[in-house]
Protein backbone atom coordinates (compact mmCIF):
# COMPACT_ATOMS: atom_id res chain seq x y z
CA UNK A 1 0.00 0.00 0.00
CA UNK A 2 1.65 3.17 -1.25
CA UNK A 3 0.06 6.49 -0.29
CA UNK A 4 1.15 9.68 -2.04
CA UNK A 5 -0.18 13.22 -2.35
CA UNK A 6 0.17 16.39 -4.36
CA UNK A 7 -1.44 19.81 -4.43
CA UNK A 8 -3.61 20.72 -7.40
CA UNK A 9 -4.24 24.44 -7.84
CA UNK A 10 -7.83 25.46 -8.59
CA UNK A 11 -10.06 28.55 -8.55
CA UNK A 12 -11.18 27.52 -5.03
CA UNK A 13 -7.61 27.23 -3.76
CA UNK A 14 -5.20 24.37 -3.49
CA UNK A 15 -6.67 20.87 -3.42
CA UNK A 16 -4.59 18.23 -1.66
CA UNK A 17 -5.05 15.05 -3.69
CA UNK A 18 -4.23 11.79 -1.91
CA UNK A 19 -3.94 8.47 -3.72
CA UNK A 20 -3.32 4.95 -2.64
CA UNK A 21 -2.36 2.22 -5.10
CA UNK A 22 -3.69 4.20 -8.06
CA UNK A 23 -7.05 5.23 -6.55
CA UNK A 24 -7.95 8.67 -5.22
CA UNK A 25 -8.70 8.39 -1.49
CA UNK A 26 -8.94 12.06 -0.65
CA UNK A 27 -9.23 15.52 -2.14
CA UNK A 28 -9.01 18.13 0.58
CA UNK A 29 -9.24 21.90 0.49
CA UNK A 30 -6.13 23.47 1.90
CA UNK A 31 -6.95 25.17 5.20
CA UNK A 32 -10.27 23.34 5.61
CA UNK A 33 -11.73 22.84 9.04
CA UNK A 34 -11.34 19.07 9.23
CA UNK A 35 -8.52 18.00 7.02
CA UNK A 36 -6.28 14.99 7.14
CA UNK A 37 -3.37 14.86 9.54
CA UNK A 38 -0.06 15.43 7.74
CA UNK A 39 0.98 11.85 8.51
CA UNK A 40 -2.09 10.55 6.65
CA UNK A 41 -1.06 12.12 3.34
CA UNK A 42 1.85 9.87 2.50
CA UNK A 43 4.84 11.19 0.63
CA UNK A 44 4.58 14.13 -1.73
CA UNK A 45 4.88 12.89 -5.29
CA UNK A 46 3.71 14.60 -8.46
CA UNK A 47 3.54 11.35 -10.46
CA UNK A 48 0.27 9.49 -10.71
CA UNK A 49 -1.94 12.57 -10.50
CA UNK A 50 -2.11 13.58 -14.17
CA UNK A 51 -5.66 12.32 -14.67
CA UNK A 52 -7.20 13.95 -11.55
CA UNK A 53 -5.35 17.17 -12.43
CA UNK A 54 -6.67 17.08 -16.03
CA UNK A 55 -10.27 16.28 -15.07
CA UNK A 56 -10.35 18.94 -12.34
CA UNK A 57 -8.97 21.54 -14.79
CA UNK A 58 -11.70 20.59 -17.29
CA UNK A 59 -14.37 20.81 -14.58
CA UNK A 60 -13.27 24.28 -13.46
CA UNK A 61 -13.08 25.40 -17.11
CA UNK A 62 -16.73 24.39 -17.57
CA UNK A 63 -15.83 21.53 -19.93
CA UNK A 64 -16.62 18.57 -17.65
CA UNK A 65 -19.79 17.68 -15.74
CA UNK A 66 -18.64 14.47 -14.03
CA UNK A 67 -15.51 12.59 -13.08
CA UNK A 68 -14.19 9.24 -14.23
CA UNK A 69 -11.53 8.43 -11.69
CA UNK A 70 -10.78 5.35 -9.61
CA UNK A 71 -11.94 6.25 -6.10
CA UNK A 72 -11.34 4.54 -2.75
CA UNK A 73 -12.73 6.76 0.01
CA UNK A 74 -12.57 5.45 3.56
CA UNK A 75 -15.73 5.50 5.64
CA UNK A 76 -18.37 3.37 7.26
CA UNK A 77 -21.23 1.72 5.37
CA UNK A 78 -23.69 4.56 6.03
CA UNK A 79 -21.21 7.16 4.78
CA UNK A 80 -20.63 5.11 1.63
CA UNK A 81 -24.40 4.94 1.05
CA UNK A 82 -24.63 8.74 1.33
CA UNK A 83 -21.58 9.28 -0.89
CA UNK A 84 -23.12 7.02 -3.56
CA UNK A 85 -26.27 9.17 -3.47
CA UNK A 86 -24.17 12.33 -3.78
CA UNK A 87 -22.50 10.93 -6.88
CA UNK A 88 -25.97 10.47 -8.44
CA UNK A 89 -26.97 14.14 -8.10
CA UNK A 90 -26.80 15.53 -11.64
CA UNK A 91 -24.49 18.39 -12.51
CA UNK A 92 -26.29 21.71 -12.07
CA UNK A 93 -28.90 20.30 -9.68
CA UNK A 94 -29.24 20.20 -5.91
CA UNK A 95 -30.93 17.97 -3.37
CA UNK A 96 -31.80 18.59 0.27
CA UNK A 97 -30.45 16.58 3.18
CA UNK A 98 -34.04 15.45 3.80
CA UNK A 99 -34.43 14.22 0.21
CA UNK A 100 -31.30 12.11 0.56
CA UNK A 101 -32.50 10.79 3.94
CA UNK A 102 -35.83 9.84 2.32
CA UNK A 103 -33.93 7.95 -0.39
CA UNK A 104 -32.21 6.06 2.41
CA UNK A 105 -35.61 5.13 3.82
CA UNK A 106 -35.94 7.47 6.81
CA UNK A 107 -36.41 11.26 6.65
CA UNK A 108 -35.24 11.40 10.29
CA UNK A 109 -31.72 10.61 9.04
CA UNK A 110 -31.26 14.13 7.59
CA UNK A 111 -28.81 15.14 10.33
CA UNK A 112 -26.77 11.96 9.82
CA UNK A 113 -26.77 12.62 6.06
CA UNK A 114 -25.35 16.06 6.82
CA UNK A 115 -22.63 14.52 8.98
CA UNK A 116 -21.71 12.07 6.21
CA UNK A 117 -21.53 14.96 3.74
CA UNK A 118 -19.21 16.78 6.12
CA UNK A 119 -16.93 13.74 6.24
CA UNK A 120 -16.85 13.28 2.46
CA UNK A 121 -13.13 12.88 1.69
CA UNK A 122 -13.60 13.68 -2.02
CA UNK A 123 -15.42 17.03 -2.29
CA UNK A 124 -15.92 18.34 -5.84
CA UNK A 125 -15.48 14.81 -7.27
CA UNK A 126 -18.20 13.41 -4.99
CA UNK A 127 -20.39 16.52 -5.11
CA UNK A 128 -21.49 17.20 -1.53
CA UNK A 129 -21.69 20.89 -2.53
CA UNK A 130 -24.93 19.98 -4.34
CA UNK A 131 -26.72 19.34 -1.03
CA UNK A 132 -28.65 22.29 0.41
CA UNK A 133 -31.12 22.96 3.20
CA UNK A 134 -34.81 22.06 2.82
CA UNK A 135 -35.59 25.69 1.91
CA UNK A 136 -32.83 25.80 -0.72
CA UNK A 137 -30.42 27.81 1.43
CA UNK A 138 -26.76 27.00 1.55
CA UNK A 139 -25.84 25.22 4.73
CA UNK A 140 -22.61 23.74 6.06
CA UNK A 141 -19.71 22.84 3.84
CA UNK A 142 -16.33 21.63 5.06
CA UNK A 143 -14.62 23.89 2.52
CA UNK A 144 -16.64 26.92 3.59
CA UNK A 145 -19.82 28.43 2.17
CA UNK A 146 -17.90 30.69 -0.24
CA UNK A 147 -16.47 27.64 -1.97
CA UNK A 148 -19.85 25.91 -1.98
CA UNK A 149 -21.44 29.01 -3.57
CA UNK A 150 -18.65 29.16 -6.18
CA UNK A 151 -19.10 25.50 -7.15
CA UNK A 152 -22.89 25.82 -7.41
CA UNK A 153 -22.58 28.97 -9.53
CA UNK A 154 -20.02 27.22 -11.76
CA UNK A 155 -22.56 24.45 -12.37
CA UNK A 156 -25.62 26.67 -12.70
CA UNK A 157 -27.36 26.18 -16.05
CA UNK A 158 -27.15 29.17 -18.43
CA UNK A 159 -30.96 29.50 -18.62
CA UNK A 160 -31.13 29.88 -14.84
CA UNK A 161 -28.35 32.50 -14.84
CA UNK A 162 -30.17 34.44 -17.56
CA UNK A 163 -33.46 34.31 -15.59
CA UNK A 164 -31.73 35.94 -12.63
CA UNK A 165 -30.71 38.89 -14.80
CA UNK A 166 -34.30 39.85 -15.65
Question: What confidence tens digit (pLDDT) does each residue in 125-134 have?
Answer: 999 999 999 8
* 29 touches 7 (CB < 8 A): no
Nearest to 144 by CA among 18, 3, 6, 33: 33
* 97 touches 110 (CB < 8 A): yes
SS3 101: helix
* Segment 42-72, tens digit of pLDDT: 888 988 899 999 999 999 999 999 999 999 9
Residues designated catalytic: 128
Nearest to 67 by CA among 43, 91, 36: 91
Phi, psi (deg, nearest 5) at residue 49: -115, 15
Nearest to 142 by CA among 118, 158, 114, 159: 118
pLDDT value of position 37: 73
Going from the C-alpha of 13 to that of each of 9, 16, 87, the distances in angstroms are 6, 10, 22
Phi, psi (deg, nearest 5) at residue 25: -105, -20
The pTM (predicted TM-score) of the whole model is 0.89
**What domains are defined for the chain?**
3-60 (3.30.160), 77-165 (1.10.10.10)
pLDDT value of position 158: 60
> Alpha helix locations (H) across the chain?
50-60, 77-88, 97-103, 110-118, 145-155, 158-165
Give the Cα separation of 1 and 15 in Å (integer): 22
Residues of the chain with pLDDT under 70: 32-35, 158-166
**What's 107's DSSP letter?**
G
pLDDT value of position 134: 87
Amino acid sequence: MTRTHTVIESPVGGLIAVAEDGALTGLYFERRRRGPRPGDLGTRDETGFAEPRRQLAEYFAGERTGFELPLAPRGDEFQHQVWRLLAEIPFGETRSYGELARRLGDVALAREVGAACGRNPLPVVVPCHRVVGADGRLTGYAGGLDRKRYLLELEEPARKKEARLF
